[in-house]
Amino acid sequence: MLHAPVLPPLRKRKRPLALHPAGPHPVRFQEVTVYLVERKMGFSRRAFLTGLARTKGFRVADDLSDEVTHVVAEQNSAEELWAWLRGRGLRDLTNRLVLDIAWFTESMAAGWPVAVETRHCIQEKQPVVKPCLPTAPVWAVSQYACQRRTTTENHNKVFTDAFDILAENAEFCENDGPCLAFMRAASVLKSLPGAVHRLSDLHGVPCLGDQTRAVIEEILESGISSKVQDIVNDDRYQTLKLFTSVFGVGPKTAEKWYRKGFRSFPDIHADQSVHLNKMQKAGFLYYDDISKSISKAEAEAVGRMVEDIVRSIVPDAIVALTGGFRREKEFGHDVDFLITTPEAGKEQGLLSRVLDQLKYQDVLLFCDSQESTYDRTKLPSYRFEAMDHFQKCFLIVRLQDELVRGEVGRGGGQPRGWKAVRVDLVVPPTECHAFALLGWSGSRQFERDLRRFAQRERKMLLDNHGLYDKTKKEFLTAETEEDIFAHLGLEFIEPGQRNA
């Protein structure tokens, strides 16, 4: 049998690549630089595809350099192609996607770079299969959480716990940049299908800078990070963590109390000058219950209670569980619900009737209700707003033990027979249902990256209200979450895989 020859180096062409007739085009996808391998594809087809891609806003490099992110080849064997790539003198091959032409044609059809899937990748045959990251080719991890599948199973908790603490501490210090960097590092590590055993396992994994890699290295060597140790032993961190664990207390208030010299809850209560708002009063009153996590069985019990009430008012209303429990988490800090009605307008007045009913049943312990400020004519919003405009309420409800199924002896021996539980109810207008469901399902990092991806890669604005295409200058409608992923040219990610 004849062995296929190693690819010869690209011959230098005298002829320049044909410019597309329409002339230079603005680059729409900053993250992507394509290089088309000429061998087997041929000179004229390569020139044609180059022009086509450029008219669609893709950056296509004439030469293979370190700037190239997507190497695209047609009908080349993996062996030949990789041998050729190795001889190109590139800095780091693991950071590059080496893809079949299928990815390119699908991207041309979509009008943007479609999400890279394993089937697109021309994989180098490796003699030894790495035991720690068995399924994902390490270099195919996206920098966007919305292009990664992250279940509740975290193989790298030892690192992600450290990064969670570093991120929280950075937030307390109002260091937004480092805070985001640590959150991204934690998020990307949560998505890996196996545990990291050595730094080289992280080849091609994005979102990890020198600082974060140094933390990982120290944990790999000694089991702990000295930086994290210093933070958890720090008086200010401990105090702010304690104070922000109270419902209604954010980092600003916590910092104010810390500066007044308070270090414990009794310190706060003993000071006459402290004025607690309604939410904080409830936060302290029910602290023992609501600082404990809520189980899935408890969340389901709350769900039945809310659904019974909503359906007694509008029989065909939909009560959708969102937040962490929709992402299949076993525990959460609250239970989030979205209430919508199939018929537009039927949601008017529904929430206040639900609250009346909760009061009547004597289960409403606290309620902070916010009216809708949703105004279609004021959309799209160009600046990110922390909270959407839907009608909503933040509640504490009394959950009777007997409503919770399948949990024997719950309540930790408390004789009173109920537990205070934090519940959020959100009522978007029918037309926003899919966007609100996607937004309230989280995780926060998944949502952040969906918006970043939409903005940077698609020139679209996404929030809990809708999706706006800045190029077409129009809103894109969606009835389901699947519709939104499709508009964004993203593979659909199930809620259980959004635990970024």
Annotated catalytic residues are 334, 336, 424
In 3-state terms, what secondary structure has residue 20?
Answer: coil
Closest to ligand DCT by CB, 168 vs 336, is 336
Site string for ligand DCT, 375-414 (x = CB under 6 A): -----------xx---------------------------
Query: Quick one: which H or E segment has residue 486?
Result: helix 481-488
Q: Are 150 and 498 in contact (CB under 8 A)?
A: yes
Fill in the per-residue mask, 434 to 453: x = in contact with ligand DCT (CB under 6 A), - = not in contact.
Answer: -----xx-xxx--x------
Q: Which does 329 bind (CB under 5 to 8 A by kind): Mg ion, ligand DCT, none?
A: ligand DCT
CA 144 centroid distance within chain: 8
User: Least distance in Å: CB of 250 to ligand DCT?
Assistant: 12
Whether 482 contacts 472, CB under 8 Å: no
Distance CA 242, CA 254 (A): 9
Beta bridge partners of 469: 460, 474
Nearer to ligand DCT, 262 or 366 (CB): 366
Closer to Mg ion by Cβ: residue 73 or 305: 305
- From residue 463 to residue 492, the character string flagging contacts with ligand DCT as x (rule: CB under 6 A) and all else as - is -x----------------------------
Residue whose CB is less far from Mg ion, 336 or 449: 336
Q: b or e along 12-33 (b: 16 or more beta carbons within 10 Å of the residue's beta carbon)?
A: eeeeebeebeeeeeeebbeebb
Size of the site for ligand DCT (CB under 6 A): 16
| Interface of this chain with ligand DCT, residues 288 to 327, rule: CB under 6 A | 323-324
Which residues 6+ apart lie within 8 Å of 95 measured at CB?
Answer: 69, 139, 204
Q: Please identify, using beta-carbon distances, which residue of 268 and 500 lies nearer to ligand DCT.
A: 500
CB 257 within 8 A of CB 268: yes
Taking CB within 5 to 8 Å according to partner kind, which of Mg ion, ligand DCT, none is near residue 495? none
- Count other Cβ atoms within 10 Å, centred on residue 316: 9
* Measured distance CA(333)–CA(293) in Å, rounded: 5
Residue 408 binds what, of Mg ion, ligand DCT, none (CB under 5 to 8 Å, by partner type)? none
By the rule CB under 6 A, 40 interacts with ligand DCT: no
433 lines the binding site for ligand DCT (CB under 6 A): no
Beta carbon of residue 302, minimum distance to ligand DCT (angstroms, whole number): 12
393, β-bridge pairs: 369, 425
Q: Any contact of residue 332 with ligand DCT (CB under 6 A)?
A: yes
387 contacts which partner out of Mg ion, ligand DCT, none, CB within 5 to 8 A by kind?
ligand DCT
What element of type H or E holds 423?
strand 418-427
When the beta carbons of 182 and 247 are compared against ligand DCT, the nearer one is: 247
Closer CB to ligand DCT, residue 96 or residue 190?
190
Residue type, position 343, single letter = E
Return the SS3 of 480: coil
CB under 5 to 8 A by kind: which of Mg ion, ligand DCT, none does 147 bind? Answer: none
Identify what 422 binds: Mg ion, ligand DCT, none; CB under 5 to 8 Å per kind. Answer: none
Pull the structure tokens for residue 214. Answer: 């140094």
CA distance readout (Å), 498 to 75, 134, 384, 390, 435: 35, 20, 21, 23, 15
Q: Determine the residue type at 475.
A: F
Residue 443, contacted partner among Mg ion, ligand DCT, none, CB below 5-8 A by kind: ligand DCT
DSSP state of 32: -
Is the C-alpha dihedral spanning 430, 434, 440, 444 positive or negative? negative
Q: Is the dihedral of CA 150, 154, 160, 161 positive or negative?
A: positive
The whole-angstrom separation of Cα 440 and Cα 464 is: 8
Query: Among residues 20 and 292, whose Cβ is nearest to ligand DCT?
Result: 292
For the CB of residue 323, give the shortest distance to ligand DCT in the complex, in Å. Answer: 3
Q: Which residues of the chain form contacts with Mg ion (CB under 5 A)?
A: 323-324, 332, 334, 336
Site for ligand DCT in 227-286 (CB under 6 A): none
334 near ligand DCT (CB under 6 A): yes
Q: Which does 248 bind (CB under 5 to 8 A by kind): Mg ion, ligand DCT, none?
A: none
Binding site for ligand DCT (CB under 6 A): 323-324, 329, 332-334, 336, 386-387, 439-440, 442-444, 447, 464
